[in-house]
Amino acid sequence: MAHREKKHHLKKRSFFIGFLVILTLIASGINHPPVSIRIISTNLSHRVVLLDTVETRLKLIIGFAIKGRLPSGPAGTRASARLSQNGFERASFFVPKLDHLGGNLVFYLPYDVAPGDYDLRIELTDISSEETIAVKTHTVENIETIPVRETRSRSNWRQAPSIPLKNPRDESLDAVATQSDIERGYILWQRNALRYVYPNSTPNTSDVISEVSVRLAKNEYEPITFSLYALKALGQVDVSVSKIQGETGPPPVLQKICVVKTVPRALSRQSPGSGYELRPRLLEAGNSVPLDAGQSQRFWLTIHAAKETAPGKYSGTIAITTGFGKTEIPLSIEILPFALAQRPDKEYGFEMTYVFQEMTAQDLTPKQREKIYQNGLKYYRSFKEHGLTTIIPHSPFVFRRLPDGSPDLRDLEAALNAFIEVGFTGPFIYYCGHLVQSSKPGWAGSTLGYDSKYHPVLMKEIITHARQNFPGINALDMYWMPGDEVQDNADGPDRIRIAGELLTSISEMNEKSAISVWENTSLKTDITFGDPKPLKGEHWQYPNGQTTLVDDARSMRKAFGLNHIKTHYVGIAPWTFQTSENAAGDPYTDLDTSPARVEVMVAYPGVDGPVATPEYEAMREGIDDGKYAYLLETRIEYAMKSPDPMLQDYGIQAQKAYQTMLDRIETATLEEMDQHRQTMIDWIMRIGSCPGNSFGN
C-alpha cells in the first residue's frame, strides 16, 4: 500500500514538473520573441588625420539597437558586420563582446570610395554555442563623396572649377608711386594686421610706409605685417630678417615669417550659395612667393619677447629681394618695461579641440599614433602661445573597448599627457558625450542609443579607468563634460533627463563636471557654458554668435578681449574648429560643400601645428587686451590707495579712460581697439613711473 502511494506521488510530481516545464516553454515563446536588430543612426564623417601630410579619410558609423532576449546576454554575444557594394566587401567591423542591447559599428573608408548604395549585413552570434542569433541586412543609400583629393598631399586637392569666384575688392590705386618705387618695382604699404589684404587690394596714400615698427611687452607675441603692391611683374619675392640688436641681454626673437595666401570661401555663411571669393586667410610658414604686376602680397612676421627680454629699443632690417634686386627696410622694436601675465580671474579655451580624436581609430598603426601625438603637441603649444589656459578635448564619436576589455581612452591619455607636457595651468575638461550616447540626435553617439541602465554605469567606469591608469590626471583640475548644448526639443526630447543621469554618476564619483546649455535647466554642475545663469558652479561665456562667423577678426578680438573682461563670466570657451574632424570635405575650401555647410575654421589643419589665420591671431590680440587691462586695473587700484594726490588723480583719470573703453568696445573698430591698447600702455607707464611704486618700471 505504501509502495503504491509513493509511486502515485512520484507520478503526480513528475506530471507537475512536466507541466511547469511546458508552461515555461510556452511562456518563453510568448515573452521572448526572436531577436531583431534595428538601425537607429547612420553617419558619414569626414576625417582629417595629421600624419606626414594632412590626410583626408572617411568613417561610416552605424548605430544599432537590439530587441529581444539574447541567450547568453550581451556579454555572451558578439557582433560582426560587413559593408559591400556590388558583391565586393569594402569594409568590415567586429565587436567581440557586446556591452548592452545596442552599439555602434565603424567602417573605415578611403576618401575616394565609390559613391552609390552599399549593402550592410550585421550578424549576432552566441559566443558559447557559436549559433547565429540574428541577422540584419540594410541598404546604406547614396554614399556620396566629392572627390576633392587626388593624392594624400593637400597641394593636389582638386577645386571645383565650375563655381565662379567673385572679385570682392574693386579698388583703384590711390597711392602715387615714387621714383624709388618705380625703380624697385613695388609700393611698400601696411594696413591693420587684422584687416584682409586681397591679391587685388591697393594701397591708399596713408597706407604707404618706408619702415616697419612694433611695440610690445615682455612675455608677449605681436604681429608685424607689410604688403607689396607690384608695379610690374617681380618674379619670385623673398623676405628675410637680419639679426635683431639692441639692449644687453636676450633680445626679442623673430618667431616666424609667413606668406598670406587665399582660400575659396563662401561670401556668406548664412547663404553660401550667394557666391565665393578667394579670401586671404592662410598664414603659411614661408618667405618666398611669386608676384605679378597689379597684385598685392602680404607678409606676416611674429615677434616674441620673452619674460627675460631686456626693455628698450631694438633694431634690424627686413630684406626684400625680387627679380630686380634687393632692398632693405628698417625694422624697429620697442620692448616695454613690464611683462604680461595671465589674468587670475579668467580662463580661455575652445569648446572643443579635436587633435587627438583619431588616437582610437583602428586603421592606424602605433607609429602613426605616435606621429599624431607629436603633431598634437605642436597644436597644444600653439594654443598656449595664443593665450589659451584650458583645453576641452572632444572624445571619439563612439565608445569602444581594447582587446583586454578595458575602455579605449587613448585619446584622453594623449590629451592629458600633452596638457601636462606643454604646461597648461587651467582646468582640463573632457567632453565625453558621444562615448555615453548623450550627443544630439543626428550625430553618432547620440541619445537615440542611450540606455539608462548601462550608460550611467559606463560613465563611472570611464572615470575609474582614467583615474587608475593615467597618473597625471590626479594632479590636474579635472572636469567631465557629458553633454553639449543641452536642451529638449523635437529632435531630442530627453537630453536634459539624460544629462542629469550622467551628471549624477559623475557626482557620485566625487568628480567635477561641466556642461553647455542653450536654455535654463535644472541641471547642477560645476561649470556651465552658456547664457542661462546656472543654479550652482562657475558660469562661462559661450559666445558662438561672435566666433563661429570666423572670417571676422574684429568680432574675434572683441569676444576674447575687453567685451569678455567687462562680463561676470569666469571663463570663455566658444565652439570653433581648430582642426577639421568632421569637416565638410576639403577643409581648405568651401567649393566642395553643400550650401548648408561651409567650413568653420579659426585655424586650419597642418602637420607643423595649426595653420593660423588673422582671426586666430585676433583671438590672441583679444586675450592680450585682457592682460593689459589687468595690469591697468592693478595700477589704478595702487594709485587710488596712494596718499599722493597726483597718483590719486592719475588713478581717477585712468579709471575714467578704462571705463570709456569698456563702454565703447561693442562697436569699436580694429583701429579703435589698437588705440585702446596704446591708451592702456600709456596709463600703465605713467602710473608705474611715479616715485615709490613697486612695479619696476
SS3 490: coil
- By the 10 Å C-beta count (0-12 exposed, 13-18 middle, 19+ buried), 19 is classed as exposed
- Residue 72 and residue 193 in one domain: no
Q: Report whether pLDDT(157) > 50.
A: no
**pLDDT category of residue 194 using cuts at 50, 70 and 90:** very high
**pLDDT tens per residue across span 388-439:** 999 999 999 999 999 999 999 999 999 999 999 999 999 999 999 999 999 9
**pLDDT category of residue 97 using cuts at 50, 70 and 90:** very high
Question: Does 114 reside within a domain?
Answer: yes
H or E segment to which residue 421 belongs: helix 410-422
Cα dist from 506 to 134, 432, 503, whole Å? 35, 12, 5
Which of 156, 181, 214 is the last residue in one of the domains?
156
- Residue 274 and residue 192 in one domain: yes
**pLDDT category of residue 151 using cuts at 50, 70 and 90:** very low
- Count CB atoms within 10 A of the CB of residue 3: 7
**pLDDT category of residue 487 using cuts at 50, 70 and 90:** confident
Predicted confidence at residue 533, as pLDDT, reads: 80
**pLDDT category of residue 160 using cuts at 50, 70 and 90:** very low
Q: Which three cell numbers stand for residue 651?
A: 588713478
Predicted confidence at residue 595, as pLDDT, reads: 54
Average pLDDT rounded to a whole number, residues 137-164: 51
Predicted confidence at residue 137, as pLDDT, reads: 97
- Residue 247 and residue 361 in one domain: no
Percent of the chain scored above 70 by pLDDT? 87
Q: What angle, 0 to 180 degrees and rounded to 10, lies between the N-to-C axes of helices 614-641 and 553-560?
A: 30
Distance CA 603, CA 551 (A): 11
**pLDDT tens per residue across span 627-660:** 999 999 999 999 999 999 999 999 999 999 999 9
Phi, psi dihedrals of residue 150, rounded to the nearest 5°: -95, -35
Average pLDDT rounded to a whole number, residues 453-460: 98
Q: Report whether pLDDT(113) > 90.
A: no
Q: Among the listed ranges 164-178, 219-233, 439-453, which one has the minimum average pLDDT value? A: 164-178
Average pLDDT rounded to a whole number, residues 164-181: 72
Query: How far is it between the farthest Cα atoms of the chain?
Result: 136
Q: What is the CATH number of the domain that holds 494?
A: 3.20.20
Q: Report whether pLDDT(27) > 60.
A: no
Which of 294, 322, 339 is the last residue in one of the domains?
339
- What's the mean per-residue pLDDT of the chain? 89
**pLDDT tens per residue across span 257-316:** 999 999 888 776 666 556 778 899 999 999 999 999 999 999 999 999 999 999 999 999
Average pLDDT rounded to a whole number, residues 680-696: 82
- Residue 26 and residue 44 in one domain: no
Distance CA 329, CA 316 (A): 9
Question: Does 694 reside within a domain?
Answer: no
Question: Does 624 reside within a domain?
Answer: no
Predicted confidence at residue 25, as pLDDT, reads: 45
Amino acid at position 669, single letter: T
- Residue 252 and residue 326 in one domain: yes
- By the 10 Å C-beta count (0-12 exposed, 13-18 middle, 19+ buried), 447 is classed as buried
Average pLDDT rounded to a whole number, residues 447-464: 97
Residues sharing a CB contact under 8 Å with residue 211, sequence separation 6 or more, in sequence order: 329, 330, 331, 332
- Sheet order of strands, 312-322 included: 212-218, 325-339, 312-322, 235-241, 288-291
- Count CB atoms within 10 A of the CB of residue 442: 11
What is the extent of the structural domain holding 303? 165-339
Question: Does 696 reside within a domain?
Answer: no
Distance CA 217, CA 309 (A): 9
- Residue 365 and residue 458 in one domain: yes
Predicted confidence at residue 171, as pLDDT, reads: 63
Distance of CA 462 to the CA centre of its chain: 23
Q: Report whether pLDDT(45) > 70.
A: yes
Distance CA 695, CA 634 (A): 10
**pLDDT category of residue 688 using cuts at 50, 70 and 90:** confident
- Residue 475 and residue 599 in one domain: yes
Question: Does 314 reside within a domain?
Answer: yes
Q: Among the listed ranges 172-181, 207-216, 488-497, 614-623, which one has the minimum average pLDDT value? A: 488-497
Residues sharing a CB contact under 8 Å with residue 79, sequence separation 6 or more, in sequence order: 94, 95, 98, 103, 105, 122, 123, 124, 125
Q: Report whether pLDDT(661) > 50.
A: yes
Which of 580, 613, 646 is the last residue in one of the domains?
613
Question: Does 209 reside within a domain?
Answer: yes
- Residue 673 and residue 563 in one domain: no
Q: Report whether pLDDT(17) > 80.
A: no
Closest CA to 324 of 165, 485, 518, 185: 185
- Residue 535 and residue 637 in one domain: no
Q: Which three cell numbers stand for residue 656?
A: 575714467
Q: Report whether pLDDT(604) > 50.
A: yes
Number of separate helices (H) and strands (E) present in the chain: 12, 25
Q: Report whether pLDDT(609) > 90.
A: yes
Q: What is the CATH number of the domain that holds 237?
A: 2.60.40.10
Distance CA 445, CA 448 (A): 8
What is the sign of the dihedral through the CA atoms of 662, 665, 670 and 671?
negative
Residues sharing a CB contact under 8 Å with residue 646, sequence separation 6 or more, in sequence order: 690
| DSSP 8-state assignment for residue 297 | E
User: Is the Cβ–Cβ distance between 165 and 276 less than 8 Å?
Assistant: yes
- Count CB atoms within 10 A of the CB of residue 631: 22
User: Is the Cβ–Cβ distance between 296 and 230 less than 8 Å?
Assistant: yes
Q: Which three cell numbers stand for residue 606?
A: 597642418
- Residue 453 and residue 593 in one domain: yes
Question: Does 532 reside within a domain?
Answer: yes
Number of structural domains found in the chain: 5
Residues sharing a CB contact under 8 Å with residue 123, sequence separation 6 or more, in sequence order: 79, 80, 81, 132, 134, 135, 136
**pLDDT tens per residue across span 493-530:** 789 999 999 999 999 999 999 999 988 788 989 999 99
Residues sharing a CB contact under 8 Å with residue 641, sequence separation 6 or more, in sequence order: none
H or E segment to which residue 636 belongs: helix 614-641
Predicted confidence at residue 19, as pLDDT, reads: 52
Q: Report whether pLDDT(23) > 50.
A: no
Question: Does 52 reside within a domain?
Answer: yes
- Residue 100 and residue 235 in one domain: no
Average pLDDT rounded to a whole number, residues 235-247: 95
- Residue 205 and residue 314 in one domain: yes
Predicted confidence at residue 519, as pLDDT, reads: 81
Average pLDDT rounded to a whole number, residues 464-493: 90
Bond into 352 cis (ω within 30):
yes
SS3 557: helix
Looking only at the bridges linking them, the beta strands covering 512-516 and 527-529 are: parallel
Predicted confidence at residue 30, as pLDDT, reads: 52
Look at 493 and 110; give whichever has higher pLDDT.
110
SS3 157: strand
